[in-house]
Structure 1
């Protein structure tokens, strides 16, 4: 016996010979006889022996080395069900780290389930790569909440539970217990509000969805009034749904909305994944939000020179945990930049503030309407550089001084502390910034 199992019926395979007869074009017959593994229970399954590799070595429990005919070898990652391209067996053995094979794997089954490495790690096309507008996200949130109705539990119980989880988090943010959801009515673009969900004819969930934009023009207060005018008896639960990042949520909270941020949504989605949700739309949205999260956290893994806008957002958020400041996009004639600004510890005059202009730290001075710009600038440069010498801040006069109401009067490049690979050392960098 071979020790291999039949993939059809589970019986053991034994070594035998098979014959295959084919008729040729001239009317003759060609007989092919070859060694094969044949099912012991005669279910009809057989496979050529030379088409099935042999396991000759292993690396722990997770990696097998397969030997094919013509001295070709392939590596099988058992945990990920991935098989790597063929190479000469001697080249694979020369890598080292191999041990004698002592396992008893069902190789036929492993090979049937394995994915080729060249496609195994490709990300499949994602719906939300193309559906990028806030309206698309609105549609997803409406779709998700609609699964909270009890009737849909029979269709997809796991997805139903995620919908309940999402709504429950909204109630929790408002310090309320989640009631059994007996009815839900969902409306998009309710008098300008992105989403209105009425629960049990008692609660009104107001969702203002801001992906890469921010609230403006008292719109949040206006939406609450619009809902109250139509549903005066409903208890309002307003949330400000934000999967991108912004510097602060003061105006949001002043308007009575509670931020519902990406980190919270990721936890809900992850719980759904862990519970076994397989819905393609749900999985696409999860991967979409996960990619966003990875982009914001990329500053921890990428060299500073390779940071994009989201990496700077993530970096500024880390800085903001230690320094009381704000960040955002600063437009200018040369294209603008992402900046972070805060008050200096060393420069106590109110007219001064510090600003990170990505890889450059700047000292800024504000000029009042009745002041002479040139005189203020000269005095400020002198004072700031003197303070820099006292505190050893490494500030220098810019190559070119501006003439506006807010001017850069000193700067330092290379304030970000990095390791030998150019990766930011966030702890050392924040410690350095606190010196200012």
Structure 2
């Protein structure tokens, strides 16, 4: 493939620089250098503002951009004939926010806006992928989300730009999107991390799940997991979790709503017996004991192999059939719960 600057320069600092570069083109004084980039810059800035405020037709009289003020990745001062804005951009590729980070940035922006009579627009710009649960928490911090598809939609409006920098960035975003969409057209046994992430995002929209993220167990290789539900059995969370392949029946010891004298292994064994006996009664032959039992805060009590719920590893995914099977196993788990136990998803 043709060398791509942003396939090499993948760090967030490089993306910060691109964002600041693109924003600077929106300033009227830069129109004479490249009219297409100037119009794209305006479109980008207005798209950021539109995440918080009604779309304005007013021309941008001044656009000033900088980096690392108050540790903010990118900040933008925008002036029209009637309004002054401050855009605070937290830029992320594949990482997530740090504790208290967005609250501090929002507070810094509020203080600046109060001092200079401006309106604040905080944007969490993400070109990687992040679960909807995580993004919802970001919105609670006062930040609107601007994702990879938002960026692609804007850049694709200006395909004829002669800028190699812009072309490389647009191609890179398309490559990322194609990698995440590839779960639909790739044999199940050939799925990589991006396919699993794309599949989990598909489940978010079409099944409804609790969360998905990267797990780094202390005793093994990392994997992408998805938690499908969060129910309670006698005060203990019980749930289904996809572990980048097998579908696991889990029980949480650490998140219990009650005090217990049971040891972790005793709790695990009791839930396993309930699952095992119900599977036997209902002829759920695909549900079986894991290769080994662990003892921890989150314990696997039974598993369904990937081929039995996802499909033949030599075939492509049948999304409708997979959704149906996952719903079946969620309903099976719910059938094991006392009626008074509350349920999430």
More helix by share: 2
Equivalence for 2:17:
139
User: Which of these residues, 214, 233, 243, is aligned with residue 127 of structure 2?
Assistant: 243
CA contact (8 A) 1:415 1:429 kept: no
Q: In the TM superposition, what is the alpha-carbon distance from 1:309 to its structure 2 partner?
A: 1.1
Q: Does residue 1:408 correspond to 2:300, yes or no?
A: yes
Equivalence for 2:215:
330
| Distance in 2 of aligned mates of 1:363 and 1:419 | 21
Equivalence for 2:45:
167
Q: Does residue 1:282 correspond to 2:166, yes or no?
A: yes
- With 331-340 and 387-396 compared, the bigger mean Cα shift is at 387-396
TM-score by length of 2: 0.85
Describe the superposition over 1:309-343 as per-residue Cα deviations: whole angstroms up to 9, x where unpaired. 11110011111221232100111111121100122
Describe the superposition over 1:247-303 as per-residue Cα deviations: whole angstroms up to 9, x where unpaired. 121221001100100111111111111xx2121110000011111111111111111
Q: Does residue 1:299 correspond to 2:183, yes or no?
A: yes
Describe the superposition over 1:98-119 as per-residue Cα deviations: whole angstroms up to 9, x where unpaired. xxxxxxxxxxxxxxxxxxxxxx
Structure of higher RCO (CA pairs closer than 8 Å, 6+ residues apart): 2
| Distance in 2 of aligned mates of 1:132 and 1:401 | 40
CA contact (8 A) 1:190 1:196 kept: yes
TM-score by length of 1: 0.68
| Distance in 2 of aligned mates of 1:219 and 1:325 | 24
CA contact (8 A) 1:345 1:435 kept: no
Q: What runs of 5+ residues in structure 2 fail to find an aligned partner?
A: 330-345
CA contact (8 A) 1:316 1:327 kept: yes
Equivalence for 1:202:
84
Q: Does residue 1:190 correspond to 2:69, yes or no?
A: yes
| Distance in 1 of aligned mates of 2:181 and 2:317 | 12
Q: In the TM superposition, what is the alpha-carbon distance from 1:176 to its structure 2 partner?
A: 2.2
User: Which of these residues, 17, 20, 28, is aligned with residue 150 of structure 1?
Assistant: 28
CA contact (8 A) 2:231 2:239 kept: no
Q: In the TM superposition, what is the alpha-carbon distance from 1:349 to its structure 2 partner?
A: 6.8
CA contact (8 A) 1:347 1:384 kept: no
Q: What runs of 5+ residues in structure 1 fail to find an aligned partner?
A: 1-122
Equivalence for 1:11:
none
What is the CA RMSD across the aligned residues, in angstroms?
A: 2.1
| Distance in 2 of aligned mates of 1:174 and 1:281 | 28
